[in-house]
Structure 1
């Protein structure tokens, strides 16, 4: 087995994903490899070259085209990493759909669900089995991913659910949007809440099955909330960016989790924000006004 470490970041062309790739490349070793992925061949190639040329970069950096909505492509990449390198050490699932406040949430639902949820399920299924002992599998979510942000009628769909059950709940939500029955069933119009709750629930489902052996080998599976980050994706949604972090600042906290010498059992499988676990049952359903000001 190759002794070098392999790290992978999805949605890494720009913003937080790019900062995560830069931080990994700066903190890993010359024999290690950071895979910077995105949908556009040109943007991936340019970003990987630029990160590789940064003064602080220590590891090798390569670009890989990966459209996370293509679940077969996710599986193929995982198979390739297993064949070539014997597994993977760091996976950060970060891809996100850029939505604007004035756009119809329902019209963008399929794209949002495919990128944030279907892709998350595929990444957990494909990369979980090839994560080497001591590895890190992190899904970038949001503080909106706690169960309390959903209508109580929907809690049973995600609380204590298996990954298959989470996937079924997501597809039921998608179907309700298409049939215009989502609101009467309790689903909020704002896609970001169910999407993030489902991401966190999916991570919790996988972590529940792996917990004992992962903690024994210092392996971490968790979702992470970076807090408010000043990016092109988030900027249209907030009226005040005075407290926002730069992508590099937000990445640093996540990378501290990646490079921690020991795994804190209290963080395993949880939604982690600034080094602490957010209560899964916390939060409250949001109003339309809340969505424009809450990180």
Structure 2
């Protein structure tokens, strides 16, 4: 008898998180469950109603309130799903906080880092151990998450490190932002660049510990880059949206990865975009000009 699958997506009220829930609910089976999570109970309920009422929905969709900055809440949900279902099959860590050019980066640092990085760390720590054999766990990052986007002075903080060391590096960066010394130390002004690099570094750190067990079982832990997506989070930062995707379109390649019967072992622990691996050491530092990003 086929075992019912459990999928969970964080930051799923809107944007690509919502599109991923829609896609999972349409492509998974009638006995499967997709958990749509977010911080606001009303928005979660509204989003669940939209997906559940869509013509293509096949799976059961349930809403859960989850604040990924609360590591205890994340751990409790992982333990509950493990107890009730024997683990989870698909986990998408997607939560992110809005970052705008109108406010200083230091004003926004604590919330942004807590969601994007603290949330990623909490999800990896708590849901990694309950991921079923052959499961998929991905962190939604971006092409900015490659090490080459940082000043070379900062590379040792994220290259070949443990998850604990990644967390320490993130905290030292956050402290430098508040102290006004971040740029002198080589950190980019825009918070999203080191945040994405740290997300991918966290994935790589966890994957390095699990690789010998996971790869033979067909289990995947990876970061994913959906490409430029036209959402309220990206709108303030990029001038040209002519090549931007809708969330639904951007979700397709990620869904193909999550639901594929077999995953290329080369993807394990890497940053994957459109079916290929983005080299960890690739990329060049970016700078800001008039509130827009320039290569």
The TM-score normalised by the length of structure 1 is 0.97
The aligned counterpart of 1:235 is: 235
CA distance in 1, matches of 2:2, 2:151: 48
Cα deviation digits, residues 127-174 of structure 1 (max 9, x gap): 000000110000000100000100111000000011011011001111
Seen in structure 2, the aligned counterparts of structure 1 residues 294 and 87 have a Cα distance that, compared at 3 Å, is farther
The aligned counterpart of 1:289 is: 289
The aligned counterpart of 1:264 is: 264
The aligned counterpart of 1:116 is: 116
CA distance in 2, matches of 1:292, 1:267: 31
Q: CA deviation at 1:288?
A: 1.2
The aligned counterpart of 1:30 is: 30
The aligned counterpart of 2:201 is: 201
Indicate the SS of the match to 2:73.
helix
CA contact (8 A) 1:74 1:123 kept: yes
CA contact (8 A) 1:2 1:85 kept: no
CA contact (8 A) 1:238 1:294 kept: no
CA distance in 2, matches of 1:127, 1:233: 26
Tell which deviates more after alignment, 34-43 or 97-106.
Answer: 97-106
CA contact (8 A) 2:286 2:293 kept: no
The aligned counterpart of 1:40 is: 40
CA distance in 2, matches of 1:256, 1:62: 22
CA distance in 2, matches of 1:294, 1:213: 41
Runs of 4+ residues over 6 Å off in structure 1: none
The aligned counterpart of 1:74 is: 74
Q: CA deviation at 1:195?
A: 0.2
CA distance in 1, matches of 2:262, 2:185: 43
Correspondence list, 1:1-295, <5 A: 3-289=3-289, 292-293=292-293
CA distance in 2, matches of 1:26, 1:294: 38
CA distance in 2, matches of 1:56, 1:172: 46
The TM-score normalised by the length of structure 2 is 0.97
Q: CA deviation at 1:253?
A: 0.7
Q: How many residues align?
A: 295
CA distance in 2, matches of 1:133, 1:92: 16
CA contact (8 A) 2:288 2:294 kept: no
Q: Which runs of 5+ in 2 are unaligned?
A: none
